[in-house]
Amino acid sequence: MIKVTFIEHDGTERSVEAVDGNSLMLAAVSNDVPGIDADCGGCCSCGTCHVYVNEEWLDKLKPMDDDEEDMLDMVDDRRSNSRLACQITVRESLDGLVVTTPEFQF
């Protein structure tokens, strides 16, 4: 079982079970985690599953491709640890992953 934790902008924490091979976005949406809109359904084309990845997990993620870079270029309040949750594939190695959701998706 892989556990991932979403922290809302106000500090509310939710830990959910994620399915190996699915996206982190899907783990949020299928567990009713608020703060992730995912308007495009997960194809890296709306920027509304923006998350801040807790620093210690950053280098465990696969680096982002150009499409994700382009979409993140458009989001509000981008930080060095910004990623799109639909582009993060959940694996055993990410058990315990912690991300924070922004106050607004844009």
- Footprint on this chain of other proteins (rule: CB under 8 A): 37, 39-41, 43-47, 67, 70-71, 73-74, 76-77, 103-104, 106
Rounded to a whole number of angstroms, the distance between the first and last alpha carbons of the chain is 32
DSSP state of 63: P
CB of 39: closest distance to other proteins in angstroms? 5
CB of 50: closest distance to other proteins in angstroms? 11
Q: Where are the beta strands (DSSP E) in the chain?
A: 2-7, 13-18, 50-53, 82-84, 98-100
CB of 70: closest distance to other proteins in angstroms? 5
